[in-house]
Structure 1
Amino acid sequence: MPASPTIDADRDDRKTASIVAARARPEKGATRVTGFREARNILRSATMTQAGGGAQYFDKSDPGSTPVFFLDGADHRQKRATIAPYFTPKAITTRYQAIMERVIEEQFTALRRTGRGTLDVMSFDLAVAVAADIVGLTVTDRARMARRLSASLSAAFYHQHNYLGRLYISARKFINQIDFYFNDVKPAVRDRRANPQDDILSHLIAQGCSDKTIMIECMTYAAAGMVTTREFIVMAAWHMFDNPDLRTRFVESNQEEQVAILQEILRLEPIAAFLYRQETETKDVYALCLRDTNLDETVVGACPHAIDPDRATRMKANGSFLSFGDGAHHCPGWQVALHESRMFLDRLFRVPGIRLDRAPTIGWSDMLQSYELRNAVVTCDTASGQEGSPRRSCVPLA
């Protein structure tokens, strides 16, 4: 099927292609899968289990105390069902949207006052606020928790340092993980034991999960719900700053069309490079290369390296393709992530005089096999005590 007539057949909009080619490497011994249909079949297969991130080595003898990420089959379905209510459109409407609006209001009031902001810091603050409410990490200072988590999970520029520098970074990451546990997780656990809330942490405590399990769950949600959302918001903003036509279309579109634009950017620039699955009988491990599957022309159509917001409609496909995974382990928080990203970016591009003063620096995390974007600076016209843009009503994704 032909591409949009406005797209140059040789156009390549990818911003992370070079670093991915240089640094993305599947785990040793894993078979690389690049075709969309083969990867989707693997993700949907009942004979495949979760792999990668140490999943195939994790002790799952007690499913009740095993993090949901590491479970498969009936145990996974049962535990997944217990967290599903935290990620529904209703939860977005009745709970998280108010948090998003409040944090975005704080951020853009400060941006208008100073005329300057750092996108990766702003987007991480938003992502932490939302994910922390979902998990239940709400009893300590959010800004300090964000700094601890950022230091614990960031590893993109590790390789640029000498031995002593790497030793220092490793020690700093370890210390921040300990600080996160004692200064954020433990206080939240104590609070939820005394005063249970409608959140994942209270649920884990009620299930009798150990402190180790709770810490793993908290770090998993931090990596999946906070870090990835930060990178995606910065990446989407960068693409639209560099493409005025795309930015104009985004601002003038309704919410459904805005989401389609965001999904198309995510198709081209998925945060994580690989998903892993292991065959139950043969124990073969497969590395599903999301970047390659999302460029499979037999599924995504012509000119796969170009951003085309009409692509999914034209191809009658799910707009994010495999960026959120598929099958039993399909990302549970995808609607939340897209919703907060859309709200943040819609507000950003309505700020008078908004411009990208400094493009982000691209790094690569070998630990997560994902890109990181840092120090993306935006500037705008200042207006003391004034709003940067008109407010719009927001409706959760269907």
Structure 2
Amino acid sequence: MEQVQWITDFGVAEEILRHKGFREVTFKGLVPLVGPVIVTLEGPVHRERRLIGSKLFTALRLKTAETSFVAEITRREVAEASRQSQPDLVRLSYSVMAQTAGRMVGLDGLGSPENAAEAVYLLSALVSGTQARQEGKPVYTRRAARDELRKRFIDPAIARRRNLLNLYGAGRLSVGELPSDLITLLLLHTHQAERKWDTRQIAGEVAFYAVAAIDTTASLAPHLFHHLYHYCQANPVQENRLTDPRFLRNAAAEALRLHPAIPTIFRQATTSLKLKSGLEFAENQTAGIYVKEANRDASIFGPYPEEFRPDRIIQAKTRRAGLSFGGGSHLCLGRELAVGTPELAQTSFENDDSPNETELFGVAAMLVKELFAQGARPDPGQAVPELSPFARDVYHTYPLNFQQFD
């Protein structure tokens, strides 16, 4: 087995992610668990899955989601948290994202915080197995979590949509009356392509989308809130910008650049090759990309790349969040759901005060905007736990206090 070649240079990392001579292997361990899903596929079958998924994340669908159910979920959940005796931002952000992802992928029954919390726990166990523990809940292996997730949430949702498609096929429903979610898109595609996917195949794809949609934004929100609170404490003149969704959107991308949800991406060379940098890879050799380090490349992100600077000026033609959404043919489809638009560092709506019908702000910015509007701040009576340099860069708890921001 070839030794992993580790990459921290942004330019080299970006070239590898775009290079057709590498295959995606970060998530290959998922295949025995959920089958071949979009992130583990290559070639024509991957392009087919990506085409289906891209229909879920059109600008119009995302704008409709932001202005309707995302806004409603965010307001309701923040209001509920403000009434709790011990509100916690991690718990809140996962609840918001579970309900949002449930609407996007088609998991019914996640409209209550209780069901959303149960789904989040099962999805966590699907990824982490017995390491995902919660007081008062059973400990699941990854396979047991998958089976329970399917039984409780996924399979019933698929069955309901199959019934609706039968009504559509019989002319009793119009296409506009069908749900606008991933499960429906998958079923419609297989029907139109005259290809039968069984429930197991669809369930695997849905489970992966749910994990990906929830985890990135839910782990980002506490980082964004923490950075902005302390940024405004150090720069009080900036406090009035906490109501500006465009400022918050830029801040969200900056926070994600510093704290990528997936700290390491792996690609495997499909043949012997040499990069523009002169770096060589043997066939089947793996490149390990340290995303967090590459995202702090001063030649790309300017001076003090390790600092949170929401107004950072980036001259390079890259995304504000760096490589946090991957790149190449496996670039994350749901990135605009998390951090909105514009993504590219050299694109901006900042000097345009007119409404833009496709401009997106992202769930992370929307949640944090609502938190500050309701007077949230870190609970002074409970210290926010320090992040371990040896563990994944996420908060496991973030106690909040609701009062006037000062």
TM-score range, shorter chain: 0.7 to 0.9
Q: TM-score, normalised by structure 2?
A: 0.75
The answer to whether 1:35 aligns with 2:13 is no
1:178 aligned residue = 147
Tell me the TM-score normalized by structure 1.
Answer: 0.76
1:107 aligned onto 2:107: no
CA–CA separation in structure 2 for the residues paired with 1:286 and 1:304: 23
Alignment of 1:1-398 (within 5 A): 29-54=3-28, 66-114=36-84, 116-139=86-109, 142=112, 143-153=114-124, 171=140, 174-196=143-165, 197-206=179-188, 207=190, 208-243=196-231, 244-245=233-234, 249=238, 251-252=240-241, 254-281=244-271, 282-315=283-316, 317-338=318-339, 339-352=362-375, 354-357=377-380, 358-361=382-385, 370-381=392-403
The number of equivalent residue pairs is: 346
RMSD of aligned C-alpha atoms?
3.5
* Alpha-carbon spacing, 1:321–1:160, altered in 2? closer, same or farther (3 Å): closer
Deviation at 1:125, TM superposition (A): 1.1
Question: What are the superposed Cα offsets for residues 49-100 of structure 1, whole Å, 9 maximum, x if unpaired?
Answer: 11122269779xxxxx842111223332232122212112211222343111
Read off the aligned partner of 2:211 and give its amino acid letter: A
Preserved CA contact (<8 Å) 2:98 2:110: no
2: distance between equivalents of 1:276 and 1:286?
Answer: 6
2: CA distance between counterparts of 1:239 and 1:66? Answer: 37
Q: Is the 8 A contact 2:254 2:310 kept in 1?
A: yes
Question: Structure 2: which 5+ residue stretches go unaligned?
Answer: 166-178, 191-195, 272-282, 340-361
Aligned partner of residue 278 in structure 1, secondary structure: strand
Q: What SS does the aligned partner of 2:87 have? A: strand
Cα contact 1:115–1:379 (8 A) shared by 2 = no
Instruction: Give the structure, 1 or 2, with the largest relative contact order (CA under 8 Å, sep 6 or more).
Output: 1
Moved more, 88-97 or 249-258: 249-258
d(CA) in 2 for partners of 1:347, 1:353: 9
